[in-house]
Structure 1
Amino acid sequence: MTTTGRVSFVGAGPGAADLITLRGARRIAEADVVIWAPSAVEAECVREHARSEAELVDFSRVTQEEITDLYRRAAAARQKVVRLHAGDAATGGGVQDQHDLCLRLGLDVEVVPGVSVVAAAAAKIGREITTTTASSAVLIAPESSEQVREFAALQTTMAATVSGARTGQFVEKLLEGGYTAETPVVVAYKVSQADEVLVHTTVGELESVVKQHKLYRPTLFLVGEAVKPPTRRVSASATTSVEEPLRAARPTRWSRRAASRLATRTDEPIPAPLPVPAGAPAESNPAWTAVEGIQQSVRKPAEESGAKPKLTVVAAEKPKPPTVRASTSDPKASGQKKSRKAAKRTPGN
């Protein structure tokens, strides 16, 4: 049994509730306290995984002192705390300072990596951001946007998170750093979410595209030849099909060995399918069945009815000082009463 609390910094992924890792989902289901920012992490992600009695803390409404007090309380009460970060918690979001603070407070600390927004955007467009022509990629956080000109001089793939309202300054620094107006750019906003915006454009047209889609909040820009969209070729013979004979795969000795092992496991029972989450649609993502099994293994029996956690945002409560009550009795008189009672109980009196 642990003698202290645990703080898990969990990467919630790019936004879609089913792109969080299974370990991240389990940590949220185990948590007594979940710290998250509704502007960065979708409420659905918390609603699907957190327990109904979990304390939800809106990170944008509390001070750093209150967060520190919450960590202290977790250490004293052996609580499990999850701090959710958008994307990958291991590559940004100020995790390092918080990680070291929790260690100084004597807490068990872990970082659960997640799917980064850069990886989600690159996967969505089907491009490798590190190709033979651009063997490296530069990740630029909002606080490092002033160095865009210096990074642009490297002429590699750039992944920069910039406020949409400052797109004009961003374009100027790209051009000053050496990118041409024809350099491909991918605009990625809220990747994997319902209101996702994903547009292919160029450096020269970037500012107008951002204004057209009214993107004023922080937006991811992938810049470089590596993100150039592929060319689709449609030939006249594309409508015709040639029937190829079906060829059976030749079994290897490894596949034969695996088949023989499976054949000998006739006595093992087939596991029953996991229950579908309450209220989930019939066409629910198969990944949810695995997540639901993890949740049910750590939740209390009272929650197995399918109750959803209430998203009531609360601030971290500071510990109240103990109440000291003054005695109104005379200490001398009470001392005399005690001595008299002791004298009566003495044998021989």
Structure 2
Amino acid sequence: MTTTGRVSFVGAGPGAADLITVRGARRIAEADVVIWAPSAVDVECVREHARPDADLVDFSRVTPEEITDLYRRAAASRQVVVRLHAGDAATGGGVQEQHDLCVRLGLEVEVVPGVSVVAAAAARIGRELTQTEASSAVLISPESSERVAEFARLQTTMAATVSGARTGQFVEQLVQGGYTTETPVVVAYKVSQTDEVVVHTTVGELEAVVKQHKLYRPTLFLVGTAVKAPARRVSAPATSSADEPQRTARPTRWSRRAASRIATRADEPIPAAAPAPATPAEPNPAWTAVEEIQQSVRKPAEESTPKPKLTVVAAEKPKPPTVRASTATAKKKPVGRKSKRTAGN
């Protein structure tokens, strides 16, 4: 527990539970209260990292006034609060306003970066958004979607989050700004999640593709030549001649040095391997990196408690902090020993 209470705005990544940062996972494991939106953050991200006794608040079901009251209660009770944001917490979601509010309340505040949706979409298609012919990228939020035509005149890579229901207006502004109907577009919806939709298309076909996939919610559109799909090479049938000499790789100095080290270790005794279990369980590598962090911040009593199902609770009205009785067993004083003060007399 902190001396003043702490609020961490954590970027939870684009959606997949294992794309959160190690620091973000640790902050969730430390939190007394986790504020999140199930529609934007995967439930597995919370289930894997939150403490069993943590209060979970659905951000979409509470008012801004209730969130403010929650921050005030955190300051009065010295609680640790985590506000989860989809993608990167520093690129939207009203973080700045809430950050300044928490500072005024005297809370310790930090912002933990996360993997942005734009970065996840670019990685998904294997493209660089700032390559040579498009040396810059413009990020457009839903709040600034009315200025698409103005940004389109820059003729660079555009990453715009627009409501799927307004795709027709978005296309009109792209053409008005100078993009041709043949300009490549990537439609990215729920990237990295099980029901993701990632489609290569063009400005002219964009509206039809969105309607085909029934994308009516906010969707990320990557526009520009930088996101053009790579041309697939048609492989020719393999032909080989028996008389053709087989070429082998020439060893480098690094491979020779490694080979000499392996040779010097060949004479060392090899310890006997432990017998393999009958049914070996393969650990999930996604959580291996944060498992020790989770155990270090959780109480020993919580480790033995089975993790219950997550339930969303609404933010409570502010109330005076209550003092909970300690559940630790009181240590008995050793019999037959005298205190230093008594012994001195």
Partner of 2:298: 299
Aligned-residue sequence identity (percent) comes to 84
Mapped to 2, the partners of 1:206 and 1:145 lie a distance apart of 16
Which letter does structure 1 place at the counterpart of 2:298?
Answer: R
Which letter does structure 1 place at the counterpart of 2:250?
Answer: R
User: Does the 8 Å contact 2:2/2:79 carry over to 1?
Assistant: no
Task: For residue 102 of structure 1, give the secondary structure of its aligned residue in structure 2.
Answer: helix
User: Does the 8 Å contact 1:10/1:112 carry over to 2?
Assistant: yes
Unmatched runs of 5 consecutive residues or more in structure 1: 264-280, 323-349
The answer as to 2:169 corresponding to 1:169 is yes
Mapped to 2, the partners of 1:49 and 1:236 lie a distance apart of 49
State the Cα distance separating 1:240 from its structure 2 match: 5.5
Q: Bigger shift: 240-249 or 92-101?
A: 240-249
Q: What TM-score does the superposition give when structure 2 sets the normalisation length?
A: 0.82
Partner of 1:246: 249
The answer as to 2:63 corresponding to 1:95 is no
User: Does the 8 Å contact 1:48/1:308 carry over to 2?
Assistant: no
User: Does the 8 Å contact 2:34/2:83 carry over to 1?
Assistant: yes
Residues matched between the structures, number = 301
Task: For residue 56 of structure 1, give the secondary structure of its aligned residue in structure 2.
Answer: strand
State the Cα distance separating 1:286 from its structure 2 match: 1.4
Partner of 2:286: 287
User: Does the 8 Å contact 2:73/2:319 carry over to 1?
Assistant: no
Partner of 1:226: 226
State the Cα distance separating 1:300 from its structure 2 match: 1.5
Show the 5 A alignment for 1:134-173. Answer: 134-173=134-173
Structure-2 change in CA distance of 1:125 and 1:238 (3 Å): farther
Unmatched runs of 5 consecutive residues or more in structure 2: 266-279, 322-345
Partner of 2:338: none
Mapped to 2, the partners of 1:17 and 1:230 lie a distance apart of 29
User: Does the 8 Å contact 1:30/1:51 carry over to 2?
Assistant: yes
Partner of 2:314: 315
Mapped to 1, the partners of 2:73 and 2:305 lie a distance apart of 29
Deviations 1:244-302 (A, max 9, x none): 413333139xx99xx8xxx9xxxxxxxxxxxxxxxxx9444313112211111111223
Show the 5 A alignment for 1:47-66. Answer: 47-66=47-66
Mapped to 2, the partners of 1:115 and 1:243 lie a distance apart of 45
Partner of 2:270: none
Task: For residue 311 of structure 1, give the secondary structure of its aligned residue in structure 2.
Answer: coil
Show the 5 A alignment for 1:42-121. Answer: 42-121=42-121
Task: For residue 8 of structure 1, give the secondary structure of its aligned residue in structure 2.
Answer: strand
User: Does the 8 Å contact 1:50/1:309 carry over to 2?
Assistant: no
Deviations 1:39-59 (A, max 9, x none): 111111111110100000010
Q: What TM-score does the superposition give when structure 1 sets the normalisation length?
A: 0.81
The answer as to 2:198 corresponding to 1:198 is yes
Deviations 1:156-214 (A, max 9, x none): 00000111111111111101110000000000000000001000000000011011111
Mapped to 2, the partners of 1:215 and 1:175 lie a distance apart of 21
Provide the alpha-carbon RMSD of the alignment: 2.5
Larger of the two Rg values belongs to structure: 1
Structure-2 change in CA distance of 1:232 and 1:103 (3 Å): same
State the Cα distance separating 1:235 from its structure 2 match: 4.0
Show the 5 A alignment for 1:21-60. Answer: 21-60=21-60
Mapped to 2, the partners of 1:118 and 1:243 lie a distance apart of 45
Partner of 1:330: none
User: Does the 8 Å contact 1:62/1:316 carry over to 2?
Assistant: yes
State the Cα distance separating 1:238 from its structure 2 match: 5.3
Structure-2 change in CA distance of 1:47 and 1:236 (3 Å): same
